[in-house]
Structure 1
């Protein structure tokens, strides 16, 4: 059974079951079927079922889910755009994706010509007046068709649209559900729908007939309101970046009394540190913690490992896990030679959840994607630009290859320094930034937050950090300057905002 049919069947056989909760608004699987059918009928009647992308602009509204499912039922793919994105980024996405239609659940930030805009009021009218008969599966997005495209940052400053097929998504969902227990589940949705981490909670929830509990940007900016919502959320399965968990863990009220039904935590999108795991274990002693890894180009995640107390004690940094079924990992050098176990190089992903490539970007596709034959079958391949190594079939992530900088002739991995700073007991989190002048890196800046307020002046704390770092790394890698902050800025996706810190440190 296809994923779309699976979700649709819950609307028939479990129509009163809760599908999505966003603030005080909720919808059932019956609602999801009814309104996605209405939208699909409207799109088929007015625009046919050619697989051209339809953009969906909004935040965490229920109408976002109606739109996603309605669009793919009509044979189109969707491109989610969160309303928190800068105007210029929205313009870039529209320019790259060249849509014929935009569903604008929130008001678009600028006028558009030659593109059909379905605004909120029109969408509600479609729900009221369009036919709601079930859509024939012949119109659905097919296995090798693009299901969604999510835009990520590009090194040129122009975003890249990662195209994910239904087959890729189904491969991920089948594996992802194996990380969750069979109990009645409520998945937490922290990331915006325009960030691929949200695919983990959204589709694991919908594919299992569970409830998706969305946290919006207003809640995230107000810890008191966020925790109040947690009290009645009944969340069983936490899905977030480690940084978002760290933010919550900074408050002593974040514990098993607040989330008494929580049994599983899934982390992706950033490095999960040993100290974060230790803090989670203190706050939630019975929870299962999973570390996962995967770029957007391989459909959310392709490795996982349950981080038990023993794993947390035995490994520092933590491994990111074993590969999923029908996925193969290789570590290669610059000449595309496969490296032996234990040697660091570029992580190469081969398998059935690898993207078909970037939207309208053949030049970069040739550099980043390819194919590889395994056991007589050809699979897509993606060169991640991530650095790592394999040991006993476990993947260890060592940062981005492009986070290397050259200072005074030394090639330095910024994430290597960050990981060593995090080893210091009073450091909570850190980002290391290069300070440039006239295109040349002059020195490094370490921005840190503390686990507790140290009763010393800042210059003494900095001196202490530098002295401790001398035990772990060469002197040329130690940042010349340190800045102590209460918190680190985060992007809407829940990652530490390096760009904002760079601007602040100028």
Structure 2
């Protein structure tokens, strides 16, 4: 695989160049290569060679990159799981993936319960004899490179399989079509369990750059974040628009803080024109790119540079045109292509499209298919084309993007309704300036002994905390006697949405 061969090339030609920076921890290209070789050799001894997935657990440690590379060198796809994921969800991922091995980079013990899984702590490996892995064993071509678990409507996460070919196509696109240069420092804001992280990790390594990571502690303490950013020398900024919007709240977030910043790349949620405009004002030497794509099509498949002309012409920004080996088709309810300017479902075809969900044949067949001889994916996203540009208009179903995370509202509702304090519940997104700001839980409570609503809310949130990541727990809880219904007996979500926006 070109990507792995390129990393090896950098390990030989620029061995001391930094590949990874996390707080005070660094990893050079030679260290990344040698440590991943050593770990890959160990993995080949621990596994039976059936190319089963390997769970990689941790946060932003350099060992995460080592583990990813070691897994694919040993011929196994990896499943990134961040420490912020609740234990119950981790167990579901372990069982769904049928992984037999877990690499624990967190620095803490992880209770895997009754799961039949071996746990290895990579930092405990000896630096003894150096072995070279056989490239014939590396993950390649259509074989699965990584599996990212996304929200599922039944309460169970689903694993999206991304092949080596899918990833190589994406990495080539970013390094060839965007103004990134060899040796650039890439910002990594997203946890590795979120596919936005792929946008910086692999293009960075393919370009011989340095990945500079933002930890959750930095995000929680902006003062520390900005002190670190000042020393980062970041050239390429990849994040959700929400993270950049948070940074813009501080007047010091400007070219003076990051004089080398040249590229902003956004994905994961809608980029408001106001955010793009502020970034262009504060970073006049940087170029801003808006992109779009679901996890099932390898991070992103469209892009556009947000120029002054684009800002003048569009109040809602387009997400651009498709990458060279990919096509975007807008279809109606009958699956027929629509006319330009007409709204419909976004269909993605081409080399970026995943092979489907791991172990979920019915779910895969529902949304993955062949279109004109190409692999295709029904996104469930609404959009239209105008002058060759794609415009994203939200979800056709109950799936949303919140702060870059893709969330099934039905999964949250499923978990809330499991609480003994809840009779029924509906989750409604609250919009501000065309972007989802937070989630509201509309609840008909069951009988309880709490005197105050905040006590009830605290109890329900405690239940949710054991099954859902923090970003999926609604910010606001509203209690009422009944949930409004439509004439055909369905929940009147339109009415609820109108009520919460008044």
TM range (shorter): 0.7 to 0.9
Displacement of 1:505 in angstroms is 8.1
1:154 paired residue among 145, 152, 155: 152
Distance in 1 (CA, whole Å) between partners of 2:312 and 2:265 is 19
Partner of 1:422: 433
Partner of 1:142: 140
CA RMSD of aligned residues (A): 2.4
Distance in 1 (CA, whole Å) between partners of 2:296 and 2:113 is 29
Q: Structure 2: any 5+ residue segments left out of the alignment?
A: 401-427, 446-464, 481-502
Measured against aligned partners, the alpha-carbon deviations of 1:178-231 in whole angstroms (never above 9, x if no partner) come to 213325300000000000000010001011110000010000100000000001
Partner of 1:4: 4
Paired residues for 1:6-405 under 5 Å? 6-106=6-106, 107-113=108-114, 115-120=116-121, 123-129=122-128, 131-177=129-175, 178-182=177-181, 184-373=183-372, 378-403=373-398
> What is the TM-score with the length of structure 2 in the denominator?
0.81
Measured against aligned partners, the alpha-carbon deviations of 1:290-320 in whole angstroms (never above 9, x if no partner) come to 0000000000000000001111111120000
- Contact preservation (8 Å) 2:444, 2:479: no
Distance in 1 (CA, whole Å) between partners of 2:276 and 2:478 is 30
Distance in 2 (CA, whole Å) between partners of 1:102 and 1:38 is 16
Distance in 2 (CA, whole Å) between partners of 1:357 and 1:332 is 21
Partner of 1:471: none
Pick closer, same or farther for the CA change 1:127–1:214 going to 2, 3 Å. farther
- Contact preservation (8 Å) 1:186, 1:237: yes
- Contact preservation (8 Å) 1:75, 1:139: yes
Displacement of 1:282 in angstroms is 2.0
Displacement of 1:42 in angstroms is 1.3
Measured against aligned partners, the alpha-carbon deviations of 1:373-424 in whole angstroms (never above 9, x if no partner) come to 2xxxx3211000100001121100001112599xxxxxxxx88x94xx528x
Pick closer, same or farther for the CA change 1:503–1:36 going to 2, 3 Å. farther
Measured against aligned partners, the alpha-carbon deviations of 1:230-272 in whole angstroms (never above 9, x if no partner) come to 0110000000000000000011111111111100000000000
Displacement of 1:59 in angstroms is 0.3
- Contact preservation (8 Å) 2:382, 2:393: yes
- Contact preservation (8 Å) 1:58, 1:105: yes
- The SS at the match of 1:331 is strand
- Contact preservation (8 Å) 2:182, 2:209: no
Distance in 1 (CA, whole Å) between partners of 2:399 and 2:298 is 26
Distance in 1 (CA, whole Å) between partners of 2:374 and 2:233 is 40
Pick closer, same or farther for the CA change 1:340–1:438 going to 2, 3 Å. farther
Distance in 1 (CA, whole Å) between partners of 2:399 and 2:228 is 41
1:501 paired residue among 475, 482, 485: 475
Greater shift in the superposed pair: 28-37 or 106-115:
106-115
- Contact preservation (8 Å) 1:145, 1:165: yes
Distance in 2 (CA, whole Å) between partners of 1:391 and 1:312 is 15
By relative contact order (CA 8 Å, sep 6+), the higher-ranking structure is 2
- Contact preservation (8 Å) 2:280, 2:287: no
- The SS at the match of 1:500 is coil
Distance in 2 (CA, whole Å) between partners of 1:48 and 1:317 is 52
Displacement of 1:134 in angstroms is 2.1
Distance in 2 (CA, whole Å) between partners of 1:151 and 1:352 is 20
Displacement of 1:114 in angstroms is 5.6
- Contact preservation (8 Å) 2:184, 2:235: yes
- Contact preservation (8 Å) 1:40, 1:135: yes
- Contact preservation (8 Å) 2:58, 2:82: yes
- Contact preservation (8 Å) 1:35, 1:127: no
- The SS at the match of 2:63 is helix
Distance in 2 (CA, whole Å) between partners of 1:432 and 1:151 is 22
Distance in 1 (CA, whole Å) between partners of 2:197 and 2:214 is 11
Pick closer, same or farther for the CA change 1:350–1:404 going to 2, 3 Å. closer
Displacement of 1:111 in angstroms is 3.6
Displacement of 1:14 in angstroms is 1.4
Distance in 1 (CA, whole Å) between partners of 2:476 and 2:89 is 19
Measured against aligned partners, the alpha-carbon deviations of 1:416-455 in whole angstroms (never above 9, x if no partner) come to x94xx528xxxxx76376774669xxxxxxxxxxxxxxxx
Displacement of 1:119 in angstroms is 3.6
- The SS at the match of 2:125 is helix
> What is the TM-score with the length of structure 1 in the denominator?
0.80
Count of aligned pairs:
429
